[in-house]
Structures are given as structure tokens and as C-alpha cells.
């Protein structure tokens, strides 16, 4: 018996993307993580409505408090979408159904960025509801001044966070190691740059947390963009590039 096999190698991208979106939401751990990621924004808005001074209840301030925790937890989604394939060994299935690993990574990146966009939207919505309620219930300031630049800055900061998670995941291929490194290394970096006096000058260029602080304040200058781009190159692009090479080359094993 002979068989003819024709067609483009691998699987159409749209299907792989749908499968990766499914895998982010079809386990208990995944659902919990998403629940926390989405619930934290209305939760901090509610908290702020109770404890904050009425004068500080502005849209800008609400956006700030919803996006800050997301910058910390959203990257976990990026980490886990990659590392579970190794930690839970599901890569044996994933990479035999689609042997083109680059395309699998692209689908994972797209899936997590789409969820990141949804998180950003829920964040702005929560902030808007908070601002309306703040003015109505607490006699808050209620200012809507924010400007298009602010939306851009928040989107950039959070989506770069997702990319950072993906990068650390690919670089380390282990959930525990990637999460620890993601939380510890930037803090060590900030500590280093604040403690060593000679490095303070360069911190704005080399320390990602310091560089991205400007984006939260909006009205970002050209120099500040350059500083942010440089820091992101070091902390996101470089580990991501090494990580992609590692995924492409590594052997997918069962143990």
C-alpha cells in the first residue's frame, strides 16, 4: 500500500492559536490564575473607593492602581504557557501535533497577548466605573483627564510584561525557576542600581523598573522612551531571543 501526502507541513496557525487559548483556560490552575488576574482590578478599585481620600479619586489614579498589580501578575501567564509544556511534559503531545516549534511559540505569544489586551480593557473599564462611583458615592474629584498617551503607555507597559514572562519561560523552561527569576532578578537589579552610587546615573537606561516608572507618569519624553527601549532590550528582548533558540534546539523528553 502506498500513500500520498501533500500539503504544507504542520498545522494552520489559527487552529494552533485556538488550541493554545484553550490550554490557558482548561485546567484548574489556569482558571484560578485568570480569575485572579481579572478579579484583582475590580477588587483594588473597590478598595480604593473605601479607603482613598476623595480628592485623589480620579480616572488617572484608578488606572494607575489597576495596572500596577497587573504588571506584576500578568507576566506569570506568559511564563506558564511556555513552561507547563516542560514541567507537565505536555510538550510531547504539543510538539508532535505541530513539530514547527517556532509556530507553536508564535501561537502561545499571540494567545497571551490577546489575553493581555483583554486585561487592559477590563482595567480601563474598572477604572471608569470606579471614577463614576467615586464621584457619586464619596464626592470624589472625578477628573477624567488622561489623554491618549496614557492609554498607549499602559498598553505598552502591560504587553511588554507579557513578553517578559514569555521570555523568562522560554529561557528557563521550568515554571518554578522562571517565576523565581522573574520576581527576584528585577528586584536585585533595582537594589544594585540604587545601592551602588556609581551606577545611579545609568540606572534609568539599564534598570527596567526604573525605566518604566516614567511610563506610569505619562508625558514620556524621547529620552525616556530611549531609556525604556534600552532596558527592555536587556531584560526582555535578549532573554527572549536566547529562549527562542533554546526551545528550537532542546530535546523534548518525557523525563
Partner 1 sequence: MSDSENAIEVHRLTKRYGGATAVEDVSFDARWGSITGFLGPNGAGKSTTMRMMVGLARPTAGHATVLGLDYRRLPEPGRHAGVLLDASAQHPGRTGREVLRVAATVLNLPEKRVDEVLTMVGLTPAEARRRTGGYSLGMRQRLGIGHALLGRPRVLILDEPANGLDPAGIHWMRGLLRGFADDGGSVLLSSHLLHEVEVLADDLVVIGGGSVVARGRKSDLLAVAGTFCRSADEPALAAALRDAGLSFTRAAEGGLTVPAPAEQVARAAMAAGVVLDELRAAEGGGLEEIFLRLTANHAREDSTEGSRR
Binding mask 25-44 for partner 1 (x = CB under 8 A): -xxxxx--------------
Which lies closer to partner 1 via its Cβ, residue 145 or residue 255? 255
Binding of residue 8 to partner 1 (CB under 8 A): yes
The Cα–Cα gap between 201 and 45 comes to 36
H helices present in 11-100, as ranges: 13-25, 28-51, 59-87, 91-97
Q: Is 22 in the site for partner 1 (CB under 8 A)?
A: yes
Binder to partner 1 among 96, 145, 197, 221 (CB under 8 A)?
Answer: 96
Least distance (Å) between residue 92 CB and partner 1: 5
The answer to whether residues 173 and 244 touch, using CB atoms and an 8 Å cutoff, is no
Hey, CA dihedral for 154, 155, 160, 162, is it positive or negative?
Answer: positive
Closest to 76 in 3D by CA, of 164, 138, 143: 164
Among 35, 39, 55, 97, binds partner 1 (CB under 8 A): 97
Which residues, at least 6 apart from 105, have a Cβ–Cβ distance to it below 8 Å?
82, 166, 170, 244, 247
Q: Which residues of 80-89 are buried (b: 16+ CB within 10 A; e: fewer)?
A: bbbbbbbbee
Nearest distance, CB of residue 114 and partner 1, angstroms: 16
Q: How many residues bind partner 1, per CB under 8 A?
A: 42
Nearest to 137 by CA among 60, 66, 45: 45
Nearer to partner 1, 28 or 53 (CB): 28
- Residue 99, interface with partner 1 (CB under 8 A)? yes
The reply on whether position 2 binds partner 1 by CB under 8 A is: yes
User: Which residue stretch of 20-28, 154-162, 193-201, 205-213 sits at the interface with partner 1 (rule: CB under 8 A)?
Assistant: 20-28
- Enumerate binding residues for partner 1 (CB under 8 A): 1-12, 15-16, 18-19, 22-23, 26-30, 84, 88-93, 95-100, 249, 251-255
Amino acid at each position: 500500500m502506498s500513500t500520498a501526502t501533500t500539503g504544507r507541513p504542520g498545522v494552520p496557525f489559527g487552529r494552533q492559536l485556538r488550541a493554545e487559548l484553550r490550554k490557558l483556560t482548561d485546567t484548574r490552575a489556569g482558571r484560578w490564575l485568570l480569575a485572579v488576574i481579572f478579579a484583582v482590578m475590580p477588587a483594588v478599585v473597590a478598595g480604593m473607593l473605601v479607603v482613598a481620600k476623595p480628592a485623589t479619586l480620579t480616572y488617572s489614579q484608578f488606572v494607575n492602581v489597576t495596572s500596577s498589580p497587573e504588571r506584576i501578575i500578568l507576566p506569570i501567564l506568559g511564563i506558564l504557557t511556555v513552561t507547563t509544556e516542560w514541567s507537565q511534559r505536555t510538550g510531547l503531545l504539543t510538539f508532535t501535533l505541530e513539530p514547527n516549534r517556532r509556530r507553536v511559540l508564535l501561537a502561545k505569544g499571540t494567545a497571551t497577548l490577546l489575553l493581555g489586551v483583554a486585561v487592559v480593557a477590563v482595567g480601563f473599564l474598572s477604572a471608569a466605573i470606579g471614577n463614576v462611583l467615586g464621584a457619586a458615592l464619596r464626592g470624589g474629584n472625578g477628573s477624567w483627564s488622561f489623554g491618549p498617551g496614557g492609554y498607549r503607555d499602559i498598553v505598552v507597559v502591560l504587553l511588554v510584561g507579557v513578553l517578559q514572562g514569555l521570555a523568562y519561560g522560554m529561557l528557563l523552561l521550568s515554571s518554578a525557576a522562571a517565576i523565581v527569576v522573574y520576581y527576584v532578578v528585577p528586584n536585585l537589579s533595582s537594589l544594585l542600581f540604587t545601592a551602588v552610587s556609581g551606577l545611579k546615573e545609568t540606572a534609568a537606561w539599564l534598570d527596567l523598573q526604573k525605566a518604566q516608572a516614567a511610563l506610569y507618569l505619562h508625558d514620556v519624553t524621547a529620552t525616556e522612551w530611549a531609556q525604556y527601549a534600552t532596558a527592555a532590550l536587556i531584560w526582555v528582548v535578549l532573554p527572549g531571543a536566547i529562549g527562542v533558540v533554546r526551545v528550537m534546539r532542546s530535546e523534548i523528553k518525557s523525563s
